[in-house]
Amino acid sequence: MSDATTPAPPADLSADLAADPATDLAARAEALDAADELAKLRERFTLPDGVVYLDGNSLGALPAGVADTTSDVVRRQWGELLIRSWDESGWWTAPERIGDKIAPLIGAAPGQVVVGDSTSVNLFKALVGAARLAAPGRTRMLVDAATFPTDGYIAASAARMTGLTVVPVDPSHAAEAMDADTAVVLLNHVDYRTGRLHDLPALTTAARAAGAVTVWDLCHSAGALPVGLDAHAVDLAVGCTYKYLNGGPGAPAYLYIAARHQAAFDSPLPGWNGHADPFAMTPAYEAAQGATRGRVGTPDILSMLALESALDAWDGVSVEAVRAKSLALTDFFLACVAAYVPQGRVESVTPAEHERRGSQVSLRTENAREVMRELIARGVIGDFRAPDVLRFGFTPLYVGYADAERAARTLGHIFG
């Protein structure tokens, strides 16, 4: 995960298309792929032939080394070493070790990220922990009004437990809602439905000025764009690893606890793995030092070590380079959609401005579910979100410009 030079994104296609709508986009895609410094990374993944995969924002592709790693974990580490692997194969330290491997991808120094449990469980820990960190007397928990449903469910439960009241807010106006009564602010870095990127630095600064504790959900940004948790003084964050981090279905999530909060972080799930001396088996709980106190029960080793192997795909890759390609890919895809799809048949609900766009494009259209089924039948895999949104996720480690062009051309064919 070195700081490789960030390639400049290709020139905007708008002027070309305005001057000549018949611009050969397939040839342009081929040239862009040939010049792409990240194109070779596709070799690090196992992808089916003939398929354009634009659903990495739901489930990332399989990194090439994971199958062999998983086989070794099962056959040798478990099958031969048995319980010795907790020490000899490093199973016991995996949550912190893999957390440190994720840390640079989200802009965190070592010792602040612990891997384990699901996003939902980590969000519960973070929200209750945030409420316990907040100044006494505050009564409100601001929650992204358009958040993924589970986040809302967990927030409501955490608020009931801590005596707070959930206040739904549009992240664009969240700063205006933060005041001396705000205890916790829960926001998504990227909206899962529209792909809208929210202003993490500004919103975190506003929350800090109001004395509130921030919790950011990074599920749709980690591995797709720079996050900068430490640089922007985020308090707590959670995220999944099976989207842009390619950890596999149901891969364990992670919890970020800023170093300055670790000594006071009071987890609502004080499991034995988060104990200062787990094998002392004492009846009283004493939290471990550092982010380790975010652990709960026995780690899910099979999926955790698959994730560790999957993160090898990031060796030598900078998040900044990935972000540059992501923006170029989504620009190119939108230009191709404009060229291929009859006017008025689709509407982009993803912001055009780079500073407000994640790494997906969401298009609104009638009969979206049926349209996506037809795209998948023709070898272009995206997904659908009710009631009328087609989602296309662009994972720059393995998606190229020819993929974007084919997807848009296929969409155009479906609309006649």
Catalytic machinery residues: 148, 217, 242-243, 391
Answer whether 370's CB lies under 8 Å from 386's CB: no
**Which helix or strand (DSSP H or E) is residue 369 part of?**
helix 368-377
Determine the length of the chain: 416
Distance from chain centroid for Cα 72: 28
**Lookup: tokens for 242:** 């099976």
**φ and ψ of 391, to 5 deg:** -110, 135
Transcribe 306-358 into DSSP letters. HHHHHGGGGTT--HHHHHHHHHHHHHHHHHHHHHHSPTTS-EE-S-SSGGGB-
User: How many other CB atoms are there within 10 angstroms of residue 389's CB atom?
Assistant: 21
Going by C-beta distance under 8 Å and a sequence separation of 6 or more, which residues neighbour residue 229?
106, 107, 108, 112, 216, 237, 256, 258
Phi, then psi, of 21 in degrees rounded to 5:
-60, -15
**DSSP secondary structure code for residue 239 in this structure:** E
Task: Give the torsion through C-alpha atoms of 392, 398, 399, 401, to 10 deg.
Answer: 170
Helix, strand or coil, per DSSP, at residue 362: strand
H or E segment at 149? helix 149-162
Of 330, 332, 345, 328, give the one whose Cα is nearest residue 412. Answer: 345
Bridge partners of 352, per DSSP, are none
